[in-house]
Amino acid sequence: MNIPPAVLLAQNLVVNYKQHCAVEQLNLSIPRGCVYALLGGNGAGKSTTISTFLTFNAPTSGQVLIEGESPHQNPKLVRAKLAYLPENVALYELLSGFENLKYFCTLAGIQLTRDQAHSLLLDSGLQLDAHNKRVATYSKGMRQKVGLAIASAKHAIAMLLDEPTSGLDPSAANDFAQRIRAAADTGMAILMATHDLFNAKQVADRIGIMKNGRLVEEFDALSVQHDELEQKYLAHARGLA
């Protein structure tokens, strides 16, 4: 069986904070077109893993690679190849969604026509009548869609998401999951840290469970039903596995 090359790769990754080991001997391999959902409670190491790919944290040992290159040795890789969507997308409140998209793309050296900007926002699920409204009037789900549009404009090969559905109602979370799946279907590699088991089962190809900095279980999403996933997650959370 041919194993596709990894876009995002963690090899024996260890990240220490003073005396605390936040990530311990983590190995991840995420190819193009794959959504990898990383589950775990607070302090499990999910956000630290994402932050290390983004060079916010340095590996204590081991490494992370983006298409075989180290972002820590070449930080320009992060700007050129990665898109990042945090739990709360930081946008300018007094600007519209359209203006935010144009502004952040200009900072990245990307020039968009008016039609291209509107098309990106529509493809990300933001209704046309919201494009020129101030972001201060947006719901969290609408802000996430502007974030997706910014990520799409970069033509990034990989996207990192940290608790993207936290605080979204079920309808907005479902819509967001469809947008993430569509991004993966274009060939993007996606690493998503989440507490949302339902969303993980809905959108992911691979699921990993982290606890105390370690990847304690990993499996194909299609190989487990939602109730089984919940049982596995709770067993690890309660120290029964």
Q: Is residue 112 part of a domain?
A: yes
For residue 84 the two structure tokens come to 């990042």
Highest mean pLDDT among 3-12, 76-85, 94-103: 94-103
Q: Is residue 49 part of a domain?
A: yes
Q: Is residue 1 part of a domain?
A: no
pLDDT tens digits along 8-36: 999 999 999 888 899 999 999 999 999 99
Domain residues for the domain of 101 are 6-237
pLDDT tens digits along 166-214: 888 888 888 888 889 999 998 999 999 998 898 899 899 999 999 999 9
Calculate the alpha carbon distances from 43 to 83, 89, 99, 142 in Å.
23, 21, 36, 28
Q: Is residue 100 part of a domain?
A: yes
Average pLDDT over residues 136-157: 90
Pairing state of beta strands 6-17 and 158-162? Answer: unpaired
Pairing state of beta strands 6-17 and 20-31? Answer: antiparallel
Beta strands in 18-118 (DSSP E): 20-31, 35-39, 61-66, 82-85
For residue 231 the two structure tokens come to 């049982």
3-state secondary structure of 195: coil
Q: Is residue 211 part of a domain?
A: yes
**Single-letter amino acid code for the residue at 68:** G
pLDDT value at position 190? 96
Cα–Cα nearest to 20, from 60, 64, 62: 60
Confidence of residue 79 (pLDDT cuts 50, 70, 90): confident
Cα 141 from Cα 228, distance rounded (Å): 29
Measured from the Cβ of residue 113, the count of other Cβ atoms closer than 10 Å reads 9
3-state secondary structure of 241: coil
What's the predicted TM-score (pTM) here?
A: 0.91
Sequence-ordered alpha helix ranges (H) in the chain: 46-53, 76-81, 97-107, 114-123, 140-153, 170-185, 197-203, 226-237
Q: Is residue 38 part of a domain?
A: yes
The CATH number for 25's domain is 3.40.50.300
Residue 82 near residue 156, CB atoms below 8 Å: yes
Per the structure, the count of domains in the chain is 1
Average pLDDT, the chain: 91
Q: Is residue 105 part of a domain?
A: yes
pLDDT value at position 2? 62
Q: Is residue 31 part of a domain?
A: yes
Q: At what angle do helices 140-153 and 97-107 cross, to 10 degrees?
A: 30
| pLDDT of residue 1 exceeding 60 | no
pLDDT value at position 122? 94
Calculate the alpha carbon distances from 188 to 12, 30, 34, 93, 109 in Å.
24, 10, 7, 29, 21
Cα 165 from Cα 169, distance rounded (Å): 8
Cα 27 from Cα 7, distance rounded (Å): 13
Residue 98 near residue 131, CB atoms below 8 Å: yes
Cα 30 from Cα 81, distance rounded (Å): 14
Cα–Cα nearest to 119, from 138, 102, 137: 102
pLDDT value at position 3? 65
pLDDT value at position 24? 96
